[in-house]
Structure 1
Amino acid sequence: MLKKKLIPVFYPNYDNREAEAVAEVLKSGWIGLGPKTEEFENKFASSIGAKHAIALNSATSALHLALVAANIKKDDEVILPALTFASTAHAVLYVGAKPVFADIELDTLCISPKDIKKKITKKTKAIIPVHYGGYPCYMDEIQRIAKKHNILIIEDASHACGSTYKGEKIGTISPFTCFSFHAVKNLATGDGGMITVKDKRIAERLRRLRWVGITKDTWKRVEKVIEMGLASNRGYGWHYEINELGYKYHMNDINAALGLVQLQKLEKGNLIRRRIAKHYKKNLKGVGDIVNPLLADGKENSISAQHNYVIRTKSRDKLHLFLRKNFISTGVHYLPLHFQPLYRKLYPNVSLPNTESVWPKLLTLPLYPKLTRKEQ
């Protein structure tokens, strides 16, 4: 008897091209931080129009390094939503600062500019807007608030690889934007991340910080040896200096090779995601008490990467079990962070009415380019 196939929530968009790209790197003998990583950085930056892109091993590392490079430190406050993955707030704790949770907009599930204003104090040094599900936050309003109060913006674009806000690609708007290439993301490298920045000096510092503070990474030292004519292909320049404490957060060439192939597929993959989202919205309209998500599909020249499709229903848990029995996986994104034991203990009196009213209804449906019409 054949077992029925389970439809997952997410599934990577891989084929032989990824396998061939990884095999090429393995055959080259250089699998660490090297030429493929640099190529991926350059092509990623070019694809969105960013000035500089720094490849890392995760978006968690990206958020942490962005805060370090922004000189956010102990006793500073950083405003962010609670409806996000743990890394957004963890990164703030890593630098000794305090995460201050702001409420969300009920239509987009993104951070509320109105509530950001309420949470600003003399200690507020940064805002981390999270583009939930790929839907762009209301960046115009957030930028006005940040400018008025001299607060830095660090965008968490873990869901928003390929999103556009009013004609501007996410990754080109703020001083820092952090992307995720985790296995379930639109651009999946198994794991990985990227920071895009506008300032050359900050980009150079981030490159040092990602590789334990070393002033020039190993591949660059190899390139220098070749330039000097001391070796035809691979010579090792041993000398380096460390001027500040860094971290081992760099990407390697295996992940970068995957990233280069995935980058070629991103635009088409995101288009397919948006088509599936429209199909869901059309067919779920009027079904029970289901509320479909707001879609950014060109309105005001904004486009969502459509990382996920999150419906709302009071029967969330029952629907989850029903679909599971019918071999359809669903997820919940997310249990708000101020409900997690760690943050509840640290910050026990947080009240976020919109977040608290909506999260028990959230259910993430399967969404990925290889999802067939029959499976939808």
Structure 2
Amino acid sequence: MGKSKYIPYGCQSIDEQDLKAVADALTSGWLTTGPNVDEFEEAVARLSGVQYGVAVSSGTAALHAAMFAFNIKEGDEVILPPMTFAATANCVAYMGATPVFADVAPDTLLIDPVEVEKKITSKTKGIIAVDYAGSPCDYIALRKIADEHGLFLAADACHSFGGKYNGSPVGSLADITTYSFHPVKHITTAEGGMAVTDNQRYRKRMTRFRNHGINADFKERPDWFYEMEDLGFNYRISDIQCALGLSQLNKLPDWVTRRRELAAIYDRLFAEIDGITPLGKPDNVNPAFHLYVVKTDDSLRREIFSYFRKHGIGVQVHYIPVHLHPFYKKRFNTHKGMCPVAEKEYESIISLPIFPGMDNDDINRVVETARSAIAAAKG
């Protein structure tokens, strides 16, 4: 019998339609910012239930642009969860402001609104909610807190594109919502991201920010003259990437449906196995399942993780809590004990493979490997 194929925790799907879309873009006469960018922005905004989209070079760029739109500056504080990729906090630090970490709920690992309220000070300017693993946060509670304290509410929805909360699409729940189109996400533009909003002022600020702070792009200028109004960045995305994104977007509903089917299979099979516990699912949400995260015995996590890897299953851990990274300890004096729930749950979590290209044989292999890994770890 040949060696079993490697199953990564996430993987893009590329078909002939995608290849044709990219080839057409390459021969269209537009390589950088062109008509595909506008069309992609409009399509993603429409799917999100808002008016505007601003496409950029990455999900990180989208977060940075959002903080610029909110006019975050030195001395300000922004509350966010520690259970996220570092970019969620980095975007605050980029602006010279201070990320303040509010702990998460133990069952879902989503930011806990009760902990958010505890962290509000006179310096607090906003909240960044993170839809960890693909489940939307409690936006009703977070919106109430934001409105009561005059704060902005941003959504890092890089995990939840295509999801819903109380029947409303992700993208319509915050003042600005950000997406990532990295290859392991729900759709890909290779690298890329977008911020969506209903606020025209925010849209204008983000559009300017992605283009060096220049007040109008070349399509809007009647002649050679332009002015740089802000210190922006080159965060533009190419027409080629957006052509791929448009093609991928057509398949998003089917792909999200398949992710939900895979998660349901995992849930059913792991109900029969001691030692593996899936994350809880919040009420009133329809998750998009970017990740399928399980908890195991923290004393056995490393052995179980290594067993998976040794047997061709590309498990991962999402994430080391951001406040435990050396940069944050040095710059912001963060330390262990600040977010005890996130710290405790981090010790036990493993992300298992979930992506639309998986078949039922793949998922059965992951589950059987989990069973064997637990048995081996227990000796």
TM-score, normalized by the shorter chain, greater than 0.5: yes
- Matched residue, 1:119: 119
Deviation of residue 251 (structure 1)? 1.2
Match of 1:324 in 2: 309
Contact 1:186–1:270 under 8 Å retained in 2? yes
The count of corresponding residues between Structure 1 and Structure 2 is: 359
1:120-178 deviation digits (Å, cap 9, x = unpaired): 11111010010001101011111111111111111111111111111111111211111
Spell out the pairing of 1:178-327 with structure 2 (5 A cutoff).
178-221=178-221, 237-295=223-281, 300=284, 302-314=285-297, 315-327=300-312
Gapped runs of 5+ residues in structure 2? 364-379
* AA in 2 matched with 1:109: L
- Retained in 2: the 8 A contact 1:35–1:219? no
> Which amino acid in structure 1 is aligned with residue 190 of structure 2?
G
Deviates more, 1:348-357 or 1:124-133: 348-357
Distance in 2 of aligned mates of 1:258 and 1:316: 38
Q: Tell me, in whole angstroms, the C-alpha distance in 1 between the residues paired with 2:330 and 2:202.
A: 35
Give the letter aligned to residue 291 of structure 2. Answer: N
Deviations 1:86-131 (A, max 9, x none): 1001111000000001100112111000100111111110100100
| TM-score after normalising by structure 1 | 0.92
Distance 1:140 1:83 in 2: 20
Contact 2:324 2:334 in 1 (8 A): no
SS in 2 for 1:108: coil
| Between 206-215 and 253-262, the greater mean CA deviation after superposition | 206-215
Indicate if the aligned counterparts of 2:82 and 2:342 stay in contact, CA closer than 8 A.
yes
Output the CA distance in 2 between the equivalents of 1:133 and 1:354: 17
- Alpha-carbon separation, structure 2, partners of 1:323 and 1:22: 36
Structure 2 counterpart of 1:232: none
**CA–CA separation in structure 2 for the residues paired with 1:158 and 1:202:** 19
| Residue number in structure 1 paired with 2:347 | 360
Distance (Å, rounded) in 2 between the aligned partners of 1:306 and 1:111: 17
Task: Provide, for residues 268-320 of structure 1, a one-character-per-residue CA deviation record: whole Å limited to 9, x for no partner.
Answer: 10000000000001001141221112246xx53x2111111000001222111
Q: CA deviation at 1:3?
A: 4.3
Map of 1:227 onto structure 2: none
Shift of 1:39: 0.5
The alignment partner of 1:53 has SS state of strand
Which sections of structure 1, spanning at least 5 residues, go unmatched? 225-236
Q: TM-score, normalised by structure 2?
A: 0.91
Matched, 1:339 2:324: yes
Structure 1 segment 30-109 matched on structure 2, within 5 A: 30-109=30-109
| Percentage identity across paired residues of the two chains | 39
- Structure 1 runs (4+) greater than 6 angstroms displaced: none
Q: Which amino acid aligns with 1:308?
A: L
AA of the residue aligned to 1:149: H
Partner of 2:367: none
Contact 2:47 2:169 in 1 (8 A): no
Q: Matched residues in 2 for 1:242 and 1:96: separation?
A: 21
Contact residue 34 and residue 219 of structure 1 kept, 8 A: no
| Equivalence for 2:376 | none
Distance 1:97 1:248 in 2: 21
1:10 paired with 2:10, answer yes
Whole-angstrom CA distance in 1 between matches of 2:74 and 2:231: 16
Partner of 2:366: none
CA distance in 1, matches of 2:236, 2:302: 40
Letter in 2 for 1:310: V
SS at match of 1:78: strand
Whether the 8 Å contact between 1:33 and 1:218 is mirrored in structure 2 is no
